[in-house]
Amino acid sequence: MQHSFPDPESQINASRAAIRLSGVTKEFRGSAEAAVADLSLDIEEGSIVALLGPSGCGKTTTLRMINRLIEPTSGTIEINGTNVADIPAQELRRGIGYVIQQVGLFPHRSIASNIGTVPKMLGWNKKRIAERVEELTSLVGLDHDLLSRYPDELSGGQQQRVGVARALAADPPVLLMDEPFGAVDPIVRARLQDQLLELQSEVRKTIVLVTHDVDEALRVADQIALLNVGGVLEQLAAPDDLMRTPANDFVRTFVGEDRWLRRLHLNLVSSLPHHTGPILPIAATFGEAREVLAAEGVSWLGITEDDVFLGWVQASALDAVEAAGGSLADLERQLPAAQVEPTSTLRSAMELIMVSNTSAAVINEGGKFGGVVTLEGIRRGLAGDTS
């Protein structure tokens, strides 16, 4: 089969791809309303974009237009500046990974053969295919013993992993995922979502993911495109921005009333403005201690030595130790129960603050003291209030 096009990989560029939808409309015959209406969307290379919305919002239709399983009525879709309509459909699809909810593994082929489907079509030799299959098996965390099995012998979660491995087989720069984790139970789903993020940190694909699950979108996406019925784009924003500044009532209702609580999951301790708190080095004087306590209005004082947090001391014990002629070092210290890391979520910081009697969590930055987190600090951080 001779084509004027060399290789889909070179068409869409081997490693990176940005996707641009311009005025894309899809009207199905016999349907009065458009499934997708004049949709324009820029998808950055190497990012995960979630197409989120209620059923009938055209999110799956939009996804399927990218690999031409559905042809748009009007408008263009470009991958790295190349109009997909100019690439023969089958070649285009071999250069785009495709994962669906029901997985769609070939029941009559072994797991290894399923994963090797696209490389085989691209004419790779057996050795190269076998090596690639092994590599992918490790990448998606599958047991190598499963390679000789048939799909029906695997669990739903394992099948979904095979589906992802199969989609990645020819190392396509673009991955389209249609409700990829919709058919597995919530525990497996959460694990697969985490694995997708881990995987993404290694492979850096441009991923378009269709979902109706707000939590899934918030969890995995860099950008969320929230679509309304009829394929109308209501808002395109990073997950936290969608929560913080919903564009309209539809977005507000769709993401839910508890969006502020959800934001606790999305933001990390490192996103908060630095707050030192009532902290003093061990060599400080009692006078300095009283000043800090008064300024912060708290009854606990943190002691550090060489940037390492030693523990909390109680303000009420200051007088007695000073009268006995001691220093800050002589105060009885309590190791903090509440310790977080910069990469902890605000939710877990909040949880720890709730159960600590100092109303603050200490940030442990690789063994060094990195400031404290308080409830007030979290409130201000989420509100974008830096005063």
- Given the rule CB under 8 A, which residues bind another protein? 67, 69, 89-95, 98, 100-109, 117-118, 121, 149-150, 152-153, 163, 166, 176
Q: Which is nearer to another protein, 122 or 130 (CB)?
A: 122
Rounded to 5 degrees, φ, ψ at 139 are -60, -40
Distance in Å, CB of 208 to another protein, minimum: 13
Q: Which is nearer to another protein, 161 or 259 (CB)?
A: 161
Distance in Å, CB of 242 to another protein, minimum: 29
Taking the C-alpha atoms of residue 81 and residue 16, their distance in angstroms, rounded to an integer, is: 12
- For strand 206-211 and strand 48-52, is the pairing parallel, antiparallel, or unpaired? parallel
Q: Which is nearer to another protein, 167 or 353 (CB)?
A: 167
Tokens representing residue 344 in the block = 């902890």
Taking the C-alpha atoms of residue 189 and residue 202, their distance in angstroms, rounded to an integer, is: 20
Distance in Å, CB of 60 to another protein, minimum: 11
Tokens representing residue 373 in the block = 């987190």
Q: Which is nearer to another protein, 8 or 371 (CB)?
A: 8
**Tokens 């791809």 sit at which residue?**
17
Residue from 84, 70, 85, 68 nearest 34 by CA: 70
Taking the C-alpha atoms of residue 371 and residue 387, their distance in angstroms, rounded to an integer, is: 17
Distance in Å, CB of 165 to another protein, minimum: 13
Q: Which is nearer to another protein, 100 or 272 (CB)?
A: 100
Distance in Å, CB of 104 to another protein, minimum: 3
Q: Which is nearer to another protein, 176 or 266 (CB)?
A: 176
**How many angstroms separate the first and last alpha carbons of the chain?**
67
Cα-Cα-Cα-Cα dihedral of 329, 334, 337, 338, to 10°?
A: -40
Distance in Å, CB of 156 to another protein, minimum: 13
Distance of CA 11 to the CA centre of its chain: 28
Strand partners, 206: 174
